[in-house]
């Protein structure tokens, strides 16, 4: 668990849960969709399983520093591979840039979480 006491510790815990919930909900949703006939590549399914697993581990506070860094890597890779705003036509560029920057911002939250996690 993240260090801290009182309101500070509660804020860190709430932030950890908020960040992890994104991975748990979206990972589970994609896996559920795949099980119910939605076409999903093997790579996307594997990444969804990783996303769900990382979310659960972060919720549990398990090796928080390293699981948060793994989440950063997953988010940055997803941003680059799934949202190439630099390579799409002008009409789609704004949406891709928005999703790219969203992933980078969330990665920043996980990076901060890894920095404040207690060292083991």
Residue-averaged pLDDT of the chain: 92
Write down the pLDDT at residue 1.
Answer: 47
Q: Alpha-carbon distance 84 to 80, whole Å?
A: 6
Span 76-118, pLDDT tens digits: 999 999 999 999 999 899 999 999 999 999 999 999 999 998 8
Percent of the chain past pLDDT 70, that is, above it, reads 96
Q: What is the pTM of this model?
A: 0.87
Q: Alpha-carbon distance 105 to 64, whole Å?
A: 19
């Amino acid at each position: 668990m993240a260090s801290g006491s009182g309101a500070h510790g509660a804020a860190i815990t709430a932030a950890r849960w908020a960040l992890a919930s994104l991975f748990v909900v979206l990972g589970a949703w994609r896996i559920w969709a795949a099980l119910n006939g939605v076409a999903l590549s093997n790579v996307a399914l594997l990444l969804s399983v990783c996303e769900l697993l990382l979310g659960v581990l972060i919720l549990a506070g398990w090796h928080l520093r390293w699981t948060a860094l793994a989440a950063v890597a997953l988010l940055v890779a997803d941003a680059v591979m799934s949202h190439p705003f630099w390579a799409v036509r002008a009409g789609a560029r704004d949406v891709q840039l928005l999703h790219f920057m969203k992933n980078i911002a969330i990665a920043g939250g996980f990076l901060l979480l890894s920095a404040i996690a207690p060292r083991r």
